[in-house]
């Protein structure tokens, strides 16, 4: 008795059109769920303090209060926080791009005894959680007087620029044809010259990927500033400033302003994502697959 239903079921299963519509519907439903928190954030950021506590909540704020953004921006010196973050960011971008590409060139293009051992160590440190060294690093940095400075958040990046970034660039360097370098060898160029003049310009797409990951990492970092900059409000980064902003209003939580401030922190990240989407995809492809 089941036979006819089974046949239709399997026919349906192999029907291309049915699948396309089914898949599209599921994806659309999922996308709506994923997008809902963003809509909620944006909507709440434009509500008055009174409208925030209206229940059931409205999706379209009435009235629309753009001044939340101004209030959030000025209640605490967010312009200063942005400046502080940008200083750290610029230093880290420079450190990571130069240092990681320099090390990656060694791993990718020079054959020397012990290279594989060091590469294994590199891969191991990609896996190792940085959290483990958090406490002893704090002890050491406070001993040498680096707490309340940006040094602990920047100096380590000058030493290799992060194992993951070295790995990513190494994978990229290995894909470049060696004929380019060979011609330069014959002309008597040294490895440093080949690295700087030939390989680095060719690695621009991979460098862009790393620059973007470094931007996201620095902009989003909370643990670092919390450990080293939390004592001095004049040194806060945006992440730290936003975390402290939660308790800026004695006794009550100003969700309207908090949502506006959060939106302002998210927007640059999303902007960079849209501008540089293809580098994101590239980075994922290199790191996730060839690894």
Partner 1 sequence: MAVQAHRTRLPWPRTRRARRALTGYLFISPFILGFFLFFVGPALVAAWLTMFDWNMIRPPYFIGLGNFTKMFNDDLFYQSLKVTAYFSLVSVPVGLVLSFLLALLMNFKTRSIALFRTIYYLPSIVPAVANAVLWSFILNTEFGLLNALLDSIGLPKIAWLQEPEWAMPAIILMSLWALGATMVIYLAGLQGIPRSLYEAAEIDGAGRWASLINVTIPLMSPVIFFNLIIGIIGSFQIFTAGFLITGGGPQHATLFYVLYIYRNGLQYFDMGYASLLAWVLFFLIFALTLIVFKYVGRYVYYEDVGS
Q: Which residues, numbered 65-94, are part of the site for partner 1 (CB under 8 A)? A: none
Looking at 104-112, 172-180, 181-189, 197-205, which segment touches partner 1 (CB under 8 A)?
104-112
One symbol per residue from 162 to 181: x for binding partner 1 (CB under 8 A), - otherwise; what is it?
-x--x---------------
The residues near 51 (Cβ < 8 Å, ≥ 6 apart) are 58, 61, 62, 63
Choose among 275, 269, 260: nearest CA to 76: 260
What's the closest the beta carbon of residue 67 comes to partner 1, in angstroms? 19
Count residues binding partner 1 (CB under 8 A).
93
| Widest pairwise Cα distance in the chain | 83
1 vs 127, which CB is nearer to partner 1?
Answer: 127
1 vs 154, which CB is nearer to partner 1?
Answer: 154
Q: Give the residue, chosen from 120, 223, 232, 249, that forms a contact with partner 1 under the rule CB under 8 A.
A: 223
Other beta carbons within 10 angstroms of residue 190's beta carbon come to: 10
Contact between residue 212 and residue 272 where contact means Cβ atoms under 8 Å apart: yes
One symbol per residue from 135 to 164: x for binding partner 1 (CB under 8 A), - otherwise; what is it?
xxxxxx-x-------------x-xxxx-x-
DSSP string, 29-48: HHHHHHHHHHHHHHHHHTS-
70 vs 270, which CB is nearer to partner 1?
Answer: 270
7 binds partner 1 (CB under 8 A): no
1 vs 289, which CB is nearer to partner 1?
Answer: 289
Q: Give the residue, chosen from 50, 60, 144, 289, that forms a contact with partner 1 under the rule CB under 8 A.
A: 289
3-state DSSP: the chain helix, strand, coil percent, rounded to 5?
75, 0, 25
Helix residue spans in 15-133 (DSSP H):
16-45, 49-52, 67-75, 78-109, 115-127
Looking at 12-20, 86-94, 181-189, 196-204, which segment touches partner 1 (CB under 8 A)?
12-20
Question: Which residues between 24 and 53 bind partner 1 (CB under 8 A)?
Answer: 24, 26-28, 30-31, 34-38, 40-41, 44, 52-53
Other beta carbons within 10 angstroms of residue 282's beta carbon come to: 18
What's the closest the beta carbon of residue 249 comes to partner 1, in angstroms? 13
Q: Whats the size of the chain, residue-wise?
A: 291
């Amino acid at each position: 008795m089941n036979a006819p239903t089974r046949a239709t079921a399997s026919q349906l299963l192999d029907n291309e059109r049915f699948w396309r519509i089914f898949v599209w519907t599921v994806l659309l439903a999922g996308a709506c769920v994923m997008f809902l928190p963003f809509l909620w954030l944006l909507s709440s950021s434009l509500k008055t303090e009174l409208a925030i506590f209206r229940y059931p909540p409205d999706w379209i704020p009435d009235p629309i209060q753009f001044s939340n953004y101004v209030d959030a921006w000025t209640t605490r010196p967010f312009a200063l926080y942005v400046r502080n973050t940008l200083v750290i960011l610029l230093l880290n971008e420079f450190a990571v791009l130069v240092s990681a590409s320099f090390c990656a060139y060694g791993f990718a293009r020079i054959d020397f005894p012990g290279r594989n051992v060091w590469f294994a160590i590199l891969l191991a440190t990609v896996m190792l959680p940085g959290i483990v060294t958090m406490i002893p690093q704090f002890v050491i940095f406070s001993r040498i007087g680096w707490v309340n400075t940006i040094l602990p958040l920047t100096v380590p990046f000058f030493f290799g620029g992060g194992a993951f970034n070295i790995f990513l660039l190494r994978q990229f360097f290995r894909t470049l044809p060696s004929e380019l370098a060979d011609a330069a060898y014959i002309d008597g160029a040294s490895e440093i010259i080949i690295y700087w003049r030939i390989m680095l310009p060719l690695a621009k797409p991979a460098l862009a990927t790393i620059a973007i990951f470094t931007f996201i990492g620095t902009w989003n970092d909370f643990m670092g500033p919390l450990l080293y900059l939390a004592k001095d409000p004049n040194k806060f980064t945006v992440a730290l400033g936003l975390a402290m902003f939660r308790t800026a209003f004695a006794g009550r939580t100003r969700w309207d302003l908090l949502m506006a401030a959060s939106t302002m922190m998210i927007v640059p990240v999303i902007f960079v994502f849209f501008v540089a989407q293809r580098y994101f995809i590239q980075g994922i492809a290199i790191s996730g697959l060839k690894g």
